[in-house]
Amino acid sequence: MSFRKDFVWGAATASYQVEGAAYEDGKGLNIWDVFCKEDGHVYEHHTGDVACDQYHRYKEDVAIMKEMGLKAYRFSVNWARILPEGTGKVNEKGLAYYDHLVNCLIENGIEPYMTLYHWDLPYALHQRGGWLNPQSPEWFYEYAKLMAAHFSDRVSHFFTFNEPQCTVGLGYVTGEHAPGLKVGPHDYFAIWHNVLKAHGRGVQAIREAAVRPVGVGMAPCGALYYPATDAKEDIEAARKACFALPEADIRAASWDVAFCADPVFLGQYPEDIMKSFGQYFPKTLEKDLELISQPLDFYGQNVYNAVPVRADENGNPVRVDRYPGFPKTAIQWPVTPEVLYWAPKFLYERYQKPIYVTENGMSSHDWVALDGKVHDASRVDFMHRYLREFKKAAADGVDLRGYFAWSLMDNFEWAYGYSERFGMVYVDYETQKRTMKDSGLFYKEVIASNGEIL
């Protein structure tokens, strides 16, 4: 067995990271527009004001996608481009941009996968309390209903949220991301719960407004683990670790896979979360969980790396130290191909939903060589190693539906600005010239063979 014949080979980006046009055609401010202008937040004061200028260059980018052979493109919508105040009056020029993008994708045989929220909350809603406001799920409902009604005739796959862990953990706990706040546990759990309720309301909105049956999911991330050996005890320890809270701390909670996925897919918060933090949740929890656990069609997971663990004498997971010189990417993330076998396997066993890997990739030290090409050999090797493990998961019966490489192109890497390059296409930010890297050419071969070359 290998990848199914209709396996979806795609690439992903996010609105603030690639679009630019931050102040054009009636778009409202979002929290990143403001955050980037404040000192000390982003590397060398970089902003997404122009980014990759995809707003004006989408046709060129879609042509590159077609050349690469992509079957799908996962992009996010800038909420404030559609609803400048977050609610109320619709910006028709904003809808028109996404109409043009979606139509261009379809004309070129590329299926649009739409993410409704990838961290860029309208600033007007932030001024009303943002995700701490109990009305925030209703704001998202209004926005999601508008998007489904308008685009579901052409878009068949919707993701409500991308990485809510980063929205809350980095935006409201560490302050590394917009809006740059550091809240305590009372506000933290209220924000987290509101985001999950917003997801539920978003699912309801899409189901209500879609003009045809569509697939709906979420794209979370989280701390992942893999067994240090193939011993049954170590495999079970890794499985436990993937769905357990390592310590009673809100920073640890942010990256707990089960903290996000259990309420969404199983209709309950994990026992260890409730034991440590139950006092912070509302009295309406049971009713809220009915909303949060709206039926979904697939599970999207963003996967980059994982931690090796072994079982101790009691069967509990113990982290295994990495050996000296363990490989790392340019952004200093460990290279652990095994995660693309074990994470989908563990997630599928627990949640019983078809799996999409909605992000996977690496930052590399890339530049245009003297021959005019970009030879990112490390990324080619990274993709080959990871996808080979992913193929093993398919062969072992995990219901894998698609893979979205992160990223289609170099772009604004949040607090890192333009200092990190994750793309399969090189972007010269001064000229906006695009150059397909060797990794893009490699991925083209993978797609053409449906993974048989791996």
Asked whether the CA dihedral 289, 294, 297, 301 is positive or negative, the reply is negative
Q: Pick the closest to residue 429 from 5, 18, 3 (CA basis).
A: 18
Q: For residue 113, what are the β-bridge partners? A: 74, 157
**Distances in Å between the alpha carbon of 354 and those of 48, 215, 306, 357, 429?**
34, 11, 21, 10, 38
Catalytic residue among 19, 359, 389, 420: 359
- Pairing between strand 317-319 and 307-311? antiparallel
Whether 359 is catalytic is yes
Opening angle at CA 92, ends 88 and 94, nearest 5: 95
Q: Are 2 and 94 in contact (CB under 8 A)?
A: no
> Which residues make Cβ contacts (< 8 Å) with residue 346, sequence separation at least 6?
238, 239, 242, 243
How many Å from the N-terminal Cα to the C-terminal Cα in the chain?
13
Q: Are 52 and 409 in contact (CB under 8 A)?
A: yes
Length reported for the chain: 454
Whether 111 is catalytic is no
Between CA 403 and CA 386 the distance in angstroms is 11
**Distances in Å between the alpha carbon of 394 and those of 299, 341, 388, 402?**
15, 9, 10, 11
Structure tokens at 270: 């994990």
The number of C-alpha atoms within 13 Å of 360 and in the hemisphere containing its C-beta is 32
φ/ψ of 356, rounded to 5, equals: -115, 130
Between CA 260 and CA 196 the distance in angstroms is 8
The one-character DSSP state at 170 is I
Q: For residue 357, what are the β-bridge partners? A: 301, 403
Give me the active site residues, please: 163, 359
